[in-house]
Structure 1
Amino acid sequence: MDDAAVLKQRGYIMGINLGEGSYAKVKSAYSERLKFNVAVKIIDRKKAPKDFLEKFLPREIEILAMLNHRSIVKTYEIFETSDGKVYIVMELGVQGDLLEFIKTRGALHEDDARKKFHQLSSAIKYCHDLDIVHRDLKCENLLLDKDFNIKLSDFGFSKRCLRDDSGRLTLSKTFCGSAAYAAPEVLQGIPYQPKVYDIWSLGVILYIMVCGSMPYDDSNIKKMLRIQKEHRVNFPLSKHLTGECKDLIYRMLQPDVNRRLHIDEILSHCWVQPKTRGLSSAAINKEGECSRGAEPSWTPETPDRKSATKVEPREEARPETEPETKPEEETLPVQVSRQSDTTGLNGEPLSKETEEEALPQPSETHT
């Protein structure tokens, strides 16, 4: 049977194509049971790479079945047919993704950015508390619902963190995600703490939200890495950002992994906290909390650089996601969240790559 017939049997009326890659596609569909539109990701095992089928897909499905948070795209159903196709039925981001939103409307006002960033940070805290890391946080993976609330999607690079005998989280060696959002330790091929990597990506996302441009130019990886390691963060003068907002970004884009903020420190930061929004003259201490004495530090502001409305999103080097070995027609009911992974909702394929332990070359980290 074709996809439309398979979905019809399950109570879904297939709609338009939302995106397509080499071995997966995302379709819209109307759910007769739920009485609203959903997104259906369809993965063809016969076309998918071995590394994806054996590693990343099973890991993703396992994690999707665990998640239940209002700021994470819901997964309603996962099932597989006897001809090797996997169907993941998810919540539809009806307003598109955050990148397109910013490219169309420009940088967000700080109040709007604060609301959306708080939603995203809450979702990341939920994941980190479960020892789940996303490892592909970027504006294209932040979908917007009908009320423009953030919905975190695409767990194709996610994993459950392992702990050693002493209870400490083990390091990861996999280069995941987009070079433009990747932390310097990941770009250098250094074994990294996955949760700390997520925090760097959050810093890039918040910068894009309030500045409408990328904090670093990833067209030259070596140059970008040098600027990152010097802890240089330039803010456009024209955006008139508050000191608290710049301070939070600066502390998330901290090259020293031992000094980079943790998710709890982000959520308690004075810029994120509604009760302290009026402290425009307040400085922030090293723990990310407001204080009245210290001066926050960042690189002096520079004139506007290239705008995100003109810059095409950087494509990421991603591992080929995972498989799952299930008997034919086995159904896996789920109450979770996620949207497109191998294909973007704008129809552009998202390049997933296999794990890399060495420093990726520029040609491997972006296109």
Structure 2
Amino acid sequence: MDDAAVLKRQGYIMGINLGEGSYAKVKSAYSERLKFNVAVKIIDRKKAPTDFLEKFLPREIEILAMLNHRSIIKTYEIFETSEGKVYIIMELGVQGDLLEFIKTRGALHEDDARKKFHQLSSAIKYCHDLDIVHRDLKCENILLDKDFNLKLSDFSFSKRCLRDDSGRLTLSKTFCGSAAYAAPEVLQGIPYQPKVYDIWSLGVILYIMVCGSMPYDDSDIKKMLRIQKEHRVNFPRSKRLTGECKDLIYRMLQPDVNRRLHIDEILSHCWVQPKARGQPSEAINKEGETSRGPEPSWTPETPDKKSASKLEPREEAQPETQSEPKPNEEEMWQVPVSRQLDTTGLDGELPGRETEEEALPQPSETHT
């Protein structure tokens, strides 16, 4: 029996193809019971790898059944046929994903970004409070409903965190995600704290929201990792971001996992809290911590000749004297997000693990 016939028996009229991988695909469908369109993720067990079937798929199904949050894509039903196909019926993100939204409309104004980022952060807090981690946060996995509210989706690499006898969360050794959103510890193949990994990815997402470009160039992973470990975050001069916004991004993109913000600290940050908007900015000191004081200035980093053709001029997040851009400098280097990052979001394939810095994951993605 084909997919359309299976869905018809369950009360769904199959629509168009939304995405397809080697052993999974997503279709739209109309639910005769719900009276609106849904998304249907169809997984073929006969084509899927053993590791996915034994580990990742059971985790995803268990977690989807647990989640109930206004900023997380709803799961309406999960069923399986005797032929080995799994059907996951989900809420449809009718306005597409966040990456396409930004590619089409450009960087978000801070007020719009604040609203959407608060929705996303609330969803992550909900998950983290349940000891659930996503581990593949990226713009492609954030969908928009009819009112352009954010909805977190794709829990293919999610898991429930384990705790040791003392109640502390254990480290994770499975490395998931796309390189451009991956934290330095993951790129290096170091056992990591999965909740802290999610926070780094959140920082990358907020940067993309307000800048319309990537914070790091992932075409050279070793160079990107070196810049990340130096805690260098450069912002496009043309965006005129507030000090509070830069501060929040800078503290989420903290390479030291013991100093990276936690989700509660993000939600209580002065930029996220509209009522605190009149308060003094938190200046970033050389150690990457913050202290109350006047808004810091930001010194631009001179782009190297190799990258000048595709990266915006950036200003490095350090409290030094601001220098004025040269005429037409911004126009010369300004490029919005235009390339969709490679992903196996439908497949969840996991290539072999690389643990040495000299053998880092390839630029497109880091699934291990």
TM bucket by the smaller chain?
0.7 to 0.9
Distance 1:361 1:271 in 2: 35
Q: Is 1:77–1:332's contact at 8 Å kept on the other side of the alignment?
A: no
8 Å CA contact 2:14–2:30 kept in 1: the answer is yes
Quote the offset at 1:97 in angstroms: 0.1
Cα distance in 2 for partners of 1:53, 1:305 equals: 47
Structure with more relative contact order (C-alpha pairs < 8 Å, separation 6 or more) = 1
- Conservation of the 8 A alpha-carbon contact between 1:319 and 1:353: no
- TM-score, normalized by length of structure 2? 0.83
Taking the aligned partners of 1:366 and 1:303, their CA distance within structure 2 comes to: 30
Distance 2:170 2:88 in 1: 30
- Aligned CA distance change for structure 1 residues 320 and 73 (closer, same or farther; 3 Å): farther
Q: Residue deviations 1:316-340, cap 9 Å, x none?
A: 9999999999999999999999999
Q: CA deviation at 1:229?
A: 0.2
Equivalent residue pairs, number:
367
- Cα distance in 2 for partners of 1:333, 1:227 equals 21
CA contact (8 A) 1:29 1:39 kept: yes
Change (3 A) 1:209 1:326: closer
Residue 352 to residue 258, structure 1, CA distance change in 2 (3 Å): closer
Query: 1:360 offset after TM fit, Å?
Result: 3.1
Task: Provide the C-alpha distance between the structure 2 equivalents of 1:171 and 1:91, rounded to a whole number of angstroms.
Answer: 32
1:280-315 Cα shifts (integer Å, max 9, x gaps): 656479999996427658764668999999999999
Q: Distance in 2 between matches of 1:304 and 1:207?
A: 21
SS at match of 1:87: strand
**Shift in alpha-carbon separation, 1:52–1:21, aligned structure 2, 3 A:** same
- Note if 1:23 corresponds to 2:23: yes
The 2-side partners of 1:332 and 1:33 are apart by: 52
- Cα shift at 1:365: 3.2
Q: What is the Cα deviation at residue 175 of structure 1?
A: 1.3
2:267 maps to what in 1? 267
Structure-1-length-normalised TM-score: 0.83
For the structure 1 residues 92 and 194, does the alpha-carbon distance in structure 2 shift closer, same or farther, using more than 3 Å as the test? same
- Matched residues in 2 for 1:22 and 1:131: separation? 31
How far the C-alpha of 1:277 sits from its partner, in A, is 2.0
CA contact (8 A) 2:281 2:294 kept: no
5+ residue gaps, structure 1, are: none
Task: State the Cα RMSD in Å.
Answer: 12.6
Question: Taking structure 1 as reference, are residues 311 and 290 closer, same or farther at Cα in structure 2, changes over 3 Å only?
Answer: closer
Partner deviation per Cα, 1:160-181 (whole Å, 9 max, x = no partner): 0000111100001111000000
Query: Aligned in 2, Cα 1:227/1:286: closer, same or farther, shift over 3 Å?
Result: closer
Distance 2:16 2:134 in 1: 28
**Structure 1 range deviating more: 65-74 or 316-325:** 316-325
Is this contact kept in 2: 1:27–1:41, CA < 8 A? yes
2:77 alignment partner, SS class: strand
- Following TM superposition, by how much is the alpha carbon of 1:33 offset from its aligned partner in structure 2, in angstroms? 0.6
Contact 2:25 2:41 in 1 (8 A): yes
The answer (yes or no) to whether the contact 1:183–1:197 under 8 Å persists in 2 is yes
Please give the alpha-carbon distance, in whole angstroms, between the structure 2 residues aligned to 1:110 and 1:196: 24
Q: Which moved more, 1:219-228 or 1:349-358?
A: 349-358
Q: Distance in 2 between matches of 1:67 and 1:53?
A: 21
1: distance between equivalents of 2:336 and 2:210?
33
Q: 1:187 to 1:106 in 2, by over 3 A?
A: same
Please tell me whether the aligned partners of residues 134 and 157 of structure 1 are also in contact (alpha carbons under 8 angstroms). Answer: yes
**Cα deviation code 1:230-271 (max 9, x no counterpart):** 000000000000000000000000000000000000000000
Counterpart in the other structure of 2:183: 183
> What's the offset of the Cα at 1:278?
3.1
Identity level (%): 90
Shift of 1:274: 1.1
- Tell me: CA distance 1:282–1:261, structure 2 relative to 1, closer, same or farther (3 Å): closer
Question: 1:276 Cα shift?
Answer: 1.3
